[in-house]
Each structure stands twice: as structure tokens, then as C-alpha cells.
Amino acid sequence: NAGVTQTPKFRVLKTGQSMTLLCAQDMNHEYMYWYRQDPGMGLRLIHYSVGEGTTAKGEVPDGYNVSRLKKQNFLLGLESAAPSQTSVYFCASRDQWVGNQETQYFGPGTRLLVL
Amino acid sequence: AQSVAQPEDQVNVAEGNPLTVKCTYSVSGNPYLFWYVQYPNRGLQFLLKYITGDNLVKGSYGFEAEFNKSQTSFHLKKPSALVSDSALYFCAVRAPYNNNDMRFGAGTRLTVKP
């Protein structure tokens, strides 16, 4: 049981390049999330999904797109990277059942540097 | 929108001493409050949560937190700190009307010295 995994672990992009971050979970969770972590600001929610085929905007969605084609995977896309998107990106998932649904399980993070 | 504040960027304590990491919150309605811990180069790990019930919540690794409604606080505590407790601690609050909207504090770095 690997929990939540993220690919890649680290990436350097040039301004204007595109890339996709992959999050995978093997806990059969319905809900998945993408956060960014910046110094002094904690984590901020980018997008989330409440189930396969669904996505919704979070607190800071601009410049990002997401897709949830399979229940276990949640992809975060940057169409045209900007230096302001330099950050550490975390994926998380949680269960939908009452009593278990409040705890989010986080991946190890992807460190992205945009030059 | 709901929010939390962690007034201390850094907390230093000696091993064996009690520790407190502070958190205050702002939310409309009943709060859903959480503490997470982050070790270097790792994702966040759940420590404990307050949804309803007793104001003193016990969590993982000997940590506990006290919910104080009048002071809108949810401070994290441990009676006797360990060097291995050194990490980054995040307080978070969930919106009562949207269980997908979690807001995190900026984090407090706890250093426990031998």
C-alpha cells in the first residue's frame, strides 16, 4: 500500500513551457486535492475533485488545469509556466465515509522551479 | 472565508520540557480544526482533529490540542518534548459548509534541543 505518490519529485522549467504533475493513490479515495506550498504562506488549495470525472476550483486556480479521468489519478497541468508558479506542490486524498472523511493523506510533494 | 493564524514562526524548547504551538482561527459556524506535521522533504501527516465533543483532543505521538471557543484558539501541546518532534507544524480549519475547503496556517517550526 503506497498511499499517495507524486511524479516527478523535482522539475525545472523555463517560462512558457508546459508540464503535467501526476498524483496517484491506492486507497480508493473519492476526493483528491492539489495544493501549493510557498514560504510563509502554508498550503493553498489549487483544484480538487470529488470523484472520477469531476473537478472544481480551489483558492488559487489561475494558471492551472486538472483532470480526473481515473479514480486513482489526479493530474495537474501548467499550460504556460510562469516564475510565480515556482513552488512545492502537494497532492492529497481522503475517504468519503463519515468518520474517516476528515483526514487528508498527503503525497511527498513535487518541487517545481520555473526560470 | 475561514482562516487560521499561527503567531509564532519558530518555537524552541528543550527536550523533556512541555511544548505549546499556538493557533487561532476565524470561521462562520462551528469550526473543524486540524493539526498536521511535516518532516523535511515529506508530505503533511495528520496529527489530530477537533470536530465536536471534548475540548481536549488527543492525537498521534503523544500530542494533544485544546479547543477554546471563547478565545477562538486550538493550541497544540505535548507534556514532554522529544528531539524527534522537531518539524514544521500546520494548523488548519475546514469550512463547515464545504468539506473540501481547508485553509492552512503558515506553519510553525518546532525545534527541540537535547
Count CA atoms within 13 Å of residue A94 on its CB side: 20
Chain A interface test: which of B8, B44, B49, B90 (most A C-beta within 10 Å): B44
pLDDT of amino acid A102: 73
Residues of A near B (Cβ–Cβ under 8 Å) read 4, 31, 33, 40-45, 48, 50, 56, 58-59, 90, 92, 101-109
How confident is the model over A46-69, as pLDDT tens digits?
A: 999 999 999 999 999 999 999 999
pLDDT of amino acid A95: 85
pLDDT of amino acid A9: 94
Enumerate residue ranges in chain A where pLDDT < 70.
1, 97-101
Asked if A110 contacts A24 with a C-beta cutoff of 8 angstroms, the reply is no
pLDDT of amino acid B97: 78
Query: Alpha-carbon distance B107 to B21, whole Å?
Result: 10
pLDDT in tens, chain B (114 residues): 789 999 999 999 999 999 999 999 999 888 899 999 999 888 899 999 998 888 999 999 999 999 999 999 999 999 999 999 999 999 999 877 777 888 999 999 999 999
Q: Which residue on chain A is closest to B94 by alpha carbon?
A: A102
Give the minimum alpha-carbon distance from A104 to chain B in angstroms, rounded to a whole number.
7
> Which are the contacts of A76, defined by CB distance < 8 A and separation ≥ 6?
A20, A21, A23, A34, A46, A47, A64, A65, A66, A89, A91
The answer to whether the CB atoms of B43 and A109 lie below 8 A apart is yes
Give the minimum alpha-carbon distance from B51 to chain A in angstroms, rounded to a whole number.
9
Q: Which of A113, A114, A112, A70 is nearest to A90 (CA)?
A: A112
| Amino acid in the structure at residue A69 | L
Give the dihedral sign, CA A31/A28/A93/A20: negative
Q: Cell numbers of B87, please?
A: 518539524
